[in-house]
Chain A
Amino acid sequence: MKKFKFFTNFDEEESWLNDMAKQGYHFTKKTMFGYEFKPGKPENAIIKMDYRTFKKREDFEDYCALFEDSGWEHIAGTKGSGYQYFKKADKQGSEEIFSDIDSKADRYRRLADMWVTLCCSFIPIFVALISTDSIDPGVLLDPKSLYLTPGLWDLNGMAFWRAFLFETPFALFRGFLWLIIPIMIILYLYFAFRAKKQYKNIQEDMITRK
């Protein structure tokens, strides 16, 4: 079974995955847009998340081995996926994968860094589009120019509407496809901001508790 969902908070994501396990859906894989589950017996699972990417294969192996040795099964995540999911396999041992607040907060810092990097990689594309005049702001004033059907504007009645509506998606695509880039940039910045905020919240919690 597939579920499409997006989280910006690790704690919420963890408890959602645990709830799914309680209903008998066992998390098996994270894809770009969602989660894959295998139906089975309901289970009181403890799933915890880390965020880390690895440059080398052996670093990733070493990381997984450390978790396995200490009673956590690595259930999803790859060397480059960043998101790493662990399920408690031992009855004994800690119920947490972080034993201090700093390291628990640090995963948000790494997540924020990733969003900023992603955002920065889109900026040159945007600049290139602007500097090569690929973006024509004139279409906002003259949207008719986006329609290429010959004689479209001379048609009347049903014939006009049919041709007009048929071409509208193509016209929007031609004129506004570039909008995806600035939207992505803003979205990534927003995610980076959310992660940074979580990071600060956890650290402030720690100060007030002391």
Chain B
Amino acid sequence: MERDKHLPLTETVYYILLALIKPAHGYLIMQKVEELSGGQVRMAAGTLYGAIENLVKLKFIQPVASEDSRRKVYAITNKGLDILRLDMERMKHMINVTRDQLK
């Protein structure tokens, strides 16, 4: 089977998508990514802004209506959810084969 060309996702992209299962604005994404990764992934503002822009272009996330007039709020799209699941399956497979081989 042909693998989706966006796979594997980078660690930061994976966590951003995961963070956006609930809609959030930029800074909240940053905090959620840090929290979800157990403090392993810390994104700086410029890097996160570029990543968001890129994911919007890929239609993995989209801006949604927000009450905050200054901050844009984003949420994951169906396409984003699909890619997130595919990457999870990929990693699951890696974990399974590794476990078997290490036995």
Q: Which residues in chain A, 92-112, are within 8 Å of chain B measured between CB atoms?
A: 94, 96-100, 103-104, 106-107
**B46 interfacial contact with A, CB 8 Å:** yes
**B21 interfacial contact with A, CB 8 Å:** no
By the criterion CB–CB under 8 Å, are A103 and B51 in contact? yes
Q: Which residues in chain B, 4-57, are within 8 Å of chain A measured between CB atoms?
A: 12, 25-27, 30, 42-51
| Residue interface mask B54-93, A partner, CB < 8 A = 1 | 0000000000000000111000000000000000000000
Of chain A, the residue at the smallest CB distance from B73 is A62
Of chain B, the residue at the smallest CB distance from A107 is B46
- Bound: A99/B44 CA distance, A: 5
For residue B3, give the distance in angstroms from its CB to the closest CB of chain A.
Answer: 22
By the criterion CB–CB under 8 Å, are B72 and A94 in contact? no
Chain A residues touching B, range: 20 to 34
Candidates A52, A62, A96; contact of B72 at CB < 8 Å? A62
- Bound: A66/B46 CA distance, A: 9
- Bound: A22/B72 CA distance, A: 36
Of chain B, the residue at the smallest CB distance from A96 is B44
For residue A21, give the distance in angstroms from its CB to the closest CB of chain B.
Answer: 20
By the criterion CB–CB under 8 Å, are A50 and B26 in contact? no
**Which applies to chain B's interface (DSSP): helix, strand, loop or mixed?**
helix
Given known A58-B72, A61-B70, A100-B12, contact A66–B45 (CB-CB < 8 A): yes
For residue B56, give the distance in angstroms from its CB to the closest CB of chain A.
Answer: 11
Q: Report which residue of B25, B30, B44 has the largest number of chain A beta carbons within 10 angstroms of its beta carbon.
A: B44
Given known A63-B49, A106-B50, contact A94–B70 (CB-CB < 8 A): no
By the criterion CB–CB under 8 Å, are B26 and A103 in contact? no
Interface 9-residue window, one of A1-9, A67-75, A143-151: A67-75
- Bound: A96/B72 CA distance, A: 23
Given known A58-B72, A61-B70, contact A66–B49 (CB-CB < 8 A): yes
- Bound: A94/B44 CA distance, A: 7
By the criterion CB–CB under 8 Å, are B72 and A98 in contact? no
- Bound: A29/B76 CA distance, A: 38
**A65 interfacial contact with B, CB 8 Å:** yes
- Bound: A58/B63 CA distance, A: 12
**3 closest Cβ contacts across the A-B interface?**
A69-B27, A66-B26, A97-B46
* 18 A–B contacts from the bound complex (CB under 8 Å): A48-B46, A62-B72, A63-B49, A64-B70, A65-B71, A66-B27, A66-B49, A66-B71, A69-B30, A69-B45, A70-B27, A70-B45, A96-B44, A98-B47, A100-B12, A103-B50, A104-B47, A106-B50
